[in-house]
Every structure is written in structure tokens, then in C-alpha cells.
Structure 1
Amino acid sequence: MKQQALLDAARELSTTLSRLSFSAPVSMVYNAYDYAWAGHEAYIKRFGGGGRKRVVYLGMNPGPWGMAQTGVPFGEIAAVRDWLGIEVPIAKPAHEHPKRPIEGFACSRSEVSGRRLWGLFAELYESADEFFQEAFILNYCPLSFLSESGANITPDKIAVAERKPLEAACDQHLRTVIELLQPEIAVGVGGFATKCLQRLSLKGPRIGTLLHPSPASPIANREWPGRPRHQLRELGIVG
């Protein structure tokens, strides 16, 4: 059963990553596949089945008000609850930063990246079920890295020696997911994710890229959703 294979792969990745340690500037690590497993499990069980997926979209790692709260990639609360139809109890990490509380679906903050990305797909597809008939979204890494002040640290800012085992585990998980879903196209959402796909030298899917919807991106703030719509048409994903 494909859903179970995807769940097993995520569990294995979570276990492997839980053995890693990180030094400054990382002060605290949240593992969304641990405390928010209920959300991720619900996502896989609902949308990870069926035949092969024509398109797989890859993000980087959880945003503080998105996947970190829901366990769903780009998991902005309203999008996950209202469009994906998922709302489950979310636990808390063993150690929680006071400036980055995990409140699950009670979180009142909105993850702009997730709101933009899922909003784009809601405009292009009649329903989440229609979208997932041909597509799937996952993040490269399920860990959130926090500095002492609570600021987000992206995986590419981790010390090189500590990043190598992190990338080895995440690369293997990504390969497994690609083998399970057998997409025709693998799309990196942003430059980091695109480079991760390119690094694997995948034999099956062709690789494309989509503008990252982050509010930290001046281009995204100026050109969303026009540019990503154009990119999806160029890749032949939408008409």
C-alpha cells in the first residue's frame, strides 16, 4: 500500500534525524514528523494513495506558522483545514522556544508561503482531490532550526560538517518518495529545493522549478501568482 510505504519512509527519516545534533547558530530543533505526526499521517493517508503522481513538488523545510504547526507541507492553517479538509490534534515538541510556540490548528498566525502556494492550486484545480490525483507535495527536510532568539535558520545555513549527514538522510528519503510516486516532473519550489533534486541525478522525472512564495522574496511579493502560473504552463503542468 503506497500510503504505508510513504509513512514508513517518513518515520525512518524522523528516526535518523533524531540522532543528529547541531551546534550554533542552531539552538533548538523541532521535528514535525515527531510532535506533529498526526497531521502528517492524515495528509499521507488522504492524499498519498492512488496511482503514480505526474508531478511531485518539493519544498525546503517547515515554516514556523505552517508545517511546524500542522505537519503538512506548506501547511498554512486555513488551507489545510478548509481546502485539504484536515484538522487533527497536534502535540508539542519536547523543548519549545517561547517565541515559537506550537499551537497546532489553534494557531492564529498565517503562513504566507503556504497561503500563496495552496491558494494558487485552489485557483487552478476545482478541489484538493483533483489536484492530488496528479500531484503531491513534500518538504525536503521535516526539521525546523531555531536560533537562540527564536529566528528561523534554513538548512543551507547549517555548519557543513553537520549538514552532510542531514543531507544524506533527506536525499535518501527523497529518492524513496520519487521511486514510490514515479513522477514525470519533479518541481523544486525555490532554488534550494531545485538544487536538491538536481543533486540526486534522478533518471526518471525531468526537473523544473517554481518561484518560492516566501514573503521574504521581493520577486514573489511583486509577481505572485502571475509568474508561477506562467512557470506551470511552461512545464506543461497546466494549460
Structure 2
Amino acid sequence: MSIIAQVTRAAKTLSDAVDQLDFAEPVTYVYNPLQYAWAAHQQYIAQLNPKGCRVLFLGMNPGPWGMAQTGVPFGQIAAVRDWMHIDAEIGKPAHEHPKRPVEGLDCGRSEVSGERLWGLMQSRFPVAKDFFQDHFVANYCPLVFMEATARNRTPDKLPADEREALTAVCDAHLAALLDAIEPEFAVGVGMYAEKCLQRVRGEGEMQVVRILHPSPASPLANRGWAPQATQQLLDAGVWDASLS
């Protein structure tokens, strides 16, 4: 089975598995973009180098204006539409919060974390194909969790029993993803993702490193995220200074 077929199958298995999980209040809305934005996610996976990639970036879970809209990790609209040229039709979750509508590629909001992450990649790789030659970006968990107020709730804030069930299926997917693409470097975008990679990495020679998360909730990230992340990648040997 080809690498792209393996990654596609792993994502579909993950999507089906998380749909079987139950989440209680204060979580009242759960979006699974691997379900309603599957066509877009397939177009995204198709950009992966068929031979695998050298660097895997891993985020935590989708944001309401990023992957929740586009089916692409950190999927800021302009980057997905204009740089990756993804044009698939995107549906809607069955249970949609009125304050967090899914409008797909027509969404007028911008995911700041995605704007920062993909903005850095576009500045270094003006052509998306050149980025995907050696890199890929994934999320550990594919689900968006929201409270009744539309407040976002991250996976680490779930009750222990819910978190354990979610971890089991997400770890299995991450292991399958790493086995398929065999990266030299796995980059945790933030501490949570780094810990997931360290837990699942296995016994291979893959190096796990971490970069600052681009969230606007991080005061440090708000003081020039791109230069800081770039320096972290250079220091870890993920990127070559001669290509900066």
C-alpha cells in the first residue's frame, strides 16, 4: 500500500473511531472535520510526498476558524485555498453551534495560529509543492470541543475517562502516521504535541523536537512567533541556515 493510501486509511480509521466516543458537559458541541470536510482533507493528504517526508509537524486539535472550516490542520483559509489550491466542497457538522458556523472556504474569519504557521511556511516555500516535498503537518486529535457559550475546550481539559478513551485512538493514529511517513524529525507545535510524540515515538531514530505554539493566547508567541520558531528549527537541525 502506498504511503498516501496508508495515511488516508489511518485518517479514516481515526475519524470513525472518534465518532464512537461520548463527551459530557461542559462540552456540548463536537465537530469532526475529518467527517464533514473529508473531501478537503483527502486533497490535503494528496499533497504529501509519496515517498514520505523528512519533517512532521504535529498540532493539538483544530481551531474553530482553521481546520474546523477547511479540514486541514492549522487550516487558515487563504493558505488552504490560494497556496495549497484545495477546492473541495465542505459540508457541516450535524450539530452546529450558532456562534461557530462552518462556512468552509467562504469563511471570513482567520485562524491566527494557522495564519502564523502557514505564513512562515509560505515565506520559506513560496510554492506549496516545495514545502510538501520534505514536510507534512498533522493534528494529534481531529475534534473541536465547544461549550454552550462557544468557548473552546482543548483535549487536555477533558475529564480523565474521556481523555483516556480519546488518547487511545489518537495514539493509534499517530503511530500509524509515523510508521507510514517515517520522518527524521517530528516537531511538536507546543508542549502537548511534543509529549504525544514522545509517548508514541517507538524505538526508531526519529528525533522529537518542539517549537513555540503560535496561539495568540501565548504572550511569547505574540512577540514575533515566526522568528522564534525559525530559530528553534535551525537550532534543532530541522532546517538549514543556508536556506533561511
Does the CA-based 8 Å contact 1:32-1:142 persist in structure 2? yes
Structure 2 match to 1:223: 224
**SS in structure 2 of the partner of residue 153 of structure 1:** coil
Structure 2 match to 1:55: 55
Does the CA-based 8 Å contact 2:66-2:110 persist in structure 1? yes
**SS in structure 2 of the partner of residue 225 of structure 1:** helix
Does the CA-based 8 Å contact 1:194-1:209 persist in structure 2? yes
- Equivalent residue letter for 2:207: R
Number of equivalent positions: 238
Does the CA-based 8 Å contact 1:10-1:173 persist in structure 2? yes
Structure 1 match to 2:14: 13
CA distance in 1, matches of 2:29, 2:126: 40
State the percentage of identical aligned residues. Answer: 52
Structure 2 match to 1:237: 238
Does the CA-based 8 Å contact 1:6-1:48 persist in structure 2? no
**SS in structure 2 of the partner of residue 14 of structure 1:** helix
* Residue 224 (structure 1) shift: 1.4
* Residue 50 (structure 1) shift: 2.1
**SS in structure 1 of the partner of residue 176 of structure 2:** helix
Structure 2 match to 1:178: 178
- Equivalent residue letter for 2:227: G
CA distance in 2, matches of 1:6, 1:36: 16
**SS in structure 1 of the partner of residue 222 of structure 2:** helix
Which moves more between the two structures, 199-208 or 131-140?
199-208
Matches within 5 A, 1:57-206: 57-204=57-204, 205-206=206-207
Per-residue Cα deviation, 1:192-239 (whole angstroms, up to 9, x for no partner): 101111122432211000111111110000131111010010121222
Where in structure 2 are there 5+ consecutive unaligned residues? none
Which moves more between the two structures, 192-201 or 162-171?
192-201
TM-score (normalised: structure 2) = 0.95
* Residue 48 (structure 1) shift: 2.1
| Alpha-carbon spacing, 1:201–1:50, altered in 2? closer, same or farther (3 Å) | closer
- RMSD, aligned CA: 1.0
**SS in structure 2 of the partner of residue 219 of structure 1:** coil
Per-residue Cα deviation, 1:102-124 (whole angstroms, up to 9, x for no partner): 00011000011001001101112
- Equivalent residue letter for 2:130: E
CA distance in 2, matches of 1:119, 1:130: 14
TM-score (normalised: structure 1) = 0.97
CA distance in 2, matches of 1:95, 1:125: 37
Where in structure 1 are there 5+ consecutive unaligned residues? none
- Equivalent residue letter for 1:153: R
